[in-house]
Chain A
Amino acid sequence: MRKTMEIMDAQPQITPLRPPVTLPAPRAGAQGGPAAREGAAPAVEASGFSFWYGAVQALHDIDLSIPERRVTALIGPSGCGKSTFLRSINRMNDLIPGVRHEGDICLHGRSVYERGEDVVHLRKRVGMVFQKSNPFPKSIYDNVAYGVRVNGLARGRRELDEVVERSLVRAALWDEVKDRLQKNALGLSGGQQQRLCIARALAVQPEVLLMDEPASALDPIATQKIEELIYELKDEYTIAIVTHNMQQAARVSDFTAFFYMGRLVEVGRTQQIFTTPREERTEAYVTGRFG
């Protein structure tokens, strides 16, 4: 109970959603003028968001904003609600019977839970990459082309070819598969399959990319490739990544949000979270003392 109270008390401290601009931007040199982006509105903004699976409350009153064209890492021990939060953004949890929510999540200022919101269209705008790579049992080409075809995003064969190539290039997979586009995707290695899933998500031109532990089932080399890819993609995309791997969060993200027992404990610049966390609990977690 006291722990809960501590967390509750901590809430006001984390309300400044975007960190003050005065903080030095991480990797400022590599980014090339990030200051211009600091003023941008958050891509995703949750306010007072709570979520229940039946009678079990999985999320408590989450206030979190995910800034545009940045990588935000969601960390925390298993069952802390980070995946639930991620899946609430593109309403993937809708499929589970008996769920309900309170509060709101906005995508570029518009509620995703608004009455009349087209879930199918929402999911086109918010791409998702899953923990277990899930390529369709189709050819490599068709995997990437599928969402494009269904959403009618390409006119004609040539344009579709271009989209497929561009997406595979963007996902750093093109060179490895360009000679076997018509081969079944299930023949690829685990890391390649995951990059294919990223290419597939990119092909429908999402505004936000959600990644649910995208590298947890991969070996270190494949993991490194995915991380490099994430780093590259943030020039163009807003990325939210759930990870159990603290080093990964530190390596790829600009901002880090620490979840614990369904609550958002602390959010801030990744550097700050890992070096000078405001909350004791955050420090305990990032230094590996629990979780």
Chain B
Amino acid sequence: MTAVTWRHRRRRATSAVMLALTGVAALITLLPLVLIFGYLIREGASSLDLAFFTHTPRPTGESGGGMANAIVGTLEMVGLAALIGLPVAVLAGVYLAEARGSRLATAVRFTADVLNGVPSIVVGIFVYLLLVVPMGGFSALAGAVALATMLVPMVTRTTEEMVRLVPRELMEGGLALGVPRWRTMLGVVLPAARGGIITGALVGVARIAGETAPLLFTALGNQFWQLDPRNPTAALPLQIFAYAISPYDDWHRQAWAGALVLILLVLTLSLGARFALGRAQRT
């Protein structure tokens, strides 16, 4: 009798300890985001004014100015990268899910995983050699290609997983009606996987929006307005990097503000992804 209660107590104690440990670990993962966000608001919010969103950087020594060109440049490059990368990634993901065992699929899957692990600075150098050198200059286009190079393997793999999650029976149900395979994929399987694919795409886009290293050798950055994708273009991460290592207090404050804007941008995309997934699951 006593042995049973003792064992029972020990079991409950173990359970409580494990629960506490996992709870603390969960809190620790949350901590960095909360700290970063709090710190950015404290340091950056005061420098956020209308001028920050409407003006280009002032020359060295003058105070004021903003990062309007960098914000637009980031949106331009991320948009271009999504335009180039997402169609390729989604189609490749569908291929991987459908041609699961084929030799090409195995090779592509392996390549995507390796590419996912390649340091982003290397991607920047690769695109520098591929585009910047032949084109004779830095450009938003090269920046977008570098970002797309990072985006494609990420979204390819998430798309593959999402398409695989769709029950095989759904595809068979379509085929059994005399619907061609490609049409079943488009009309039945992809809509069923839509929520997950959109989430994967948005998470991928949010991830590349904050990348600095691939842009160093490709977009370079710019102090002025530049909307032509063939020319060097400013981007938020680049501007933050440039300002943060500068010796001027005013630029430091602007770097904080830029970081806050960037994290808000990424957060918006992530929340959008959540929302898209939630809606897709409900319908």
Partners in one complex: yes
Please pick, from B167, B187, B192, the residue contacting A146 in the complex, using a CB distance under 8 A.
B187
How far is it, in angstroms, between the C-alpha of A134 and the C-alpha of B101 when the chains are bound?
A: 25
Contact of A204 among B178, B180, B183, B192 (CB under 8 A): B178
Nearest-neighbor residue (CB-CB) of B170 within chain A: A134
Contact yes or no, B101 A150, CB < 8 A: no
Tell me if B3 is interfacial: C-beta within 8 Å of chain A: no
The answer to whether B179 and A136 touch across the interface, beta carbons within 8 angstroms, is: no
Query: Given A92-B172, A132-B167, A136-B188, 14 more contacts at CB 8 Å?
Result: A90-B176, A92-B175, A97-B101, A120-B175, A120-B180, A123-B176, A136-B170, A136-B173, A138-B191, A151-B178, A184-B283, A200-B173, A201-B177, A204-B178
B167 touches A134 (CB 8 A): yes
Interface size on B, residues (CB 8 A): 19
Q: Are A127 and B177 in contact (CB under 8 A)?
A: yes
A146 to B173, CA, bound (A): 11
| A269–B183 CA distance with the chains assembled, in angstroms | 41
Within 8 A of A (CB), among B153-205: 167, 169-170, 172-180, 183, 187-188, 191-192
Task: Find chain A residues with CB under 8 A from B178 CB.
Answer: 120-125, 147, 150-151, 204
A137 touches B192 (CB 8 A): yes
**A128 contacts the other chain (Cβ, under 8 Å)?**
yes
Q: Which residue of B lies closest to A119 (CB)?
A: B175
Residues of A within 8 A of B179 (CB): 120, 146-147, 150-151
Residues in B lying within 8 Å of A, measured CB to CB: 101, 167, 169-170, 172-180, 183, 187-188, 191-192, 283
Q: Is A53 an interface residue (CB 8 A)?
A: no
Tell me whether A62 is interfacial, beta carbon within 8 Å.
no
Please, how many angstroms separate the alpha-carbon atoms of A180 and B191 in the complex?
21
B-facing mask of A243-286, CB < 8 A → 1, else 0? 00000000000000000000000000000000000000000000
**Interface contact A136-B176, CB-CB below 8 Å:** no
Contact assessment for A147 and B283 in the assembled complex, using a CB-CB cutoff below 8 Å:
no
Q: Contact at B187–A150, with CB atoms within 8 Å? A: yes
Chain A residues near B187: list those with CB within 8 A: 146, 150
A183 to B177, CA, bound (A): 21
Asked if A215 CB lies within 8 Å of chain B CBs, one says no
- A52 sits at the interface (CB 8 A): no
Q: What is the size, in residues, of chain A's interface with B at 8 Å between Cβ atoms? A: 28
Q: Using Cβ atoms and an 8 Å threshold, which residues of chain A touch B173?
A: 130, 134-136, 197, 200
A-B pairs with lowest CB-CB distance, top 5: A124-B178, A147-B177, A128-B176, A134-B169, A134-B173
Q: Please give the residue numbers on chain A whose beta carbons come within 8 Å of chain B beta carbons, in ascending order.
A: 90, 92, 95, 97, 120-125, 127-128, 130, 132, 134-138, 146-147, 150-151, 184, 197, 200-201, 204
Which of these, B169, B180, B191, contacts A130 with CB under 8 Å? B169
For B179, B180, B183, B188, the residue with the greatest tally of chain A CB atoms inside 10 Å of its CB is: B179
CA distance A95 to B172 in the complex (A): 9
What are the residues of chain B within 8 A of A122 when measuring CB–CB? 178
- List the A residue with the shortest CB-CB distance to B188: A136
Interfacial chain A residues near B176, Cβ < 8 Å: 90, 92, 123, 127-128, 130, 201
Residues of B within 8 A of A90 (CB): 176
Shortest Cβ distance from B282 into A: residue: A184
> Contacts of A197 on B, CB cut-off 8 Å?
173
CB distance from B191 to the nearest CB of A (A): 7
Are A123 and B167 in contact, with the CB atoms below 8 A?
no
Point out the residue from B169, B170, B172, B183 that lies within 8 Å of A150, measured CB to CB: B183
Chosen A-B contacts, 13 in total, with CB atoms closer than 8 Å, are A90-B176, A92-B175, A127-B176, A128-B176, A130-B172, A132-B167, A137-B191, A147-B177, A150-B183, A184-B283, A197-B173, A200-B177, A204-B178
**Chain B residues positioned under 8 Å from A132 (CB to CB):** 167, 169
Give bound CA distance, A184 to B281, whole Å. 12
Chain B residue, CB-CB nearest to A87: B172
Which residue among B174, B177, B188 has the maximum number of chain A CB atoms within 10 Å of its CB? B177
Are A134 and B172 neighbours in the complex by a CB distance under 8 Å?
yes
Interface centre among B172, B173, B175 (most CB of A within 10 A): B173
Q: Which residue of A lies closest to B183 (CB)?
A: A150
**Residues of B with C-beta under 8 A to A184:** 283
Residue of B nearest to A148 (CB): B177
C-alpha spacing A121/B175, complex, angstroms: 10
List chain A residues, Cβ under 8 A from B167.
132, 134
A123 / chain B contacts, CB cutoff of 8 Å: 175-178
Contacts of A200 in B (CB 8 A): 173, 177
**Which residues of chain B come closer than 8 Å to A201, judged between CB atoms?**
176-177
Complexed CA–CA distance, A128 and B179 (Å):
13
Assembled-state Cα–Cα distance A149/B175 (Å): 14
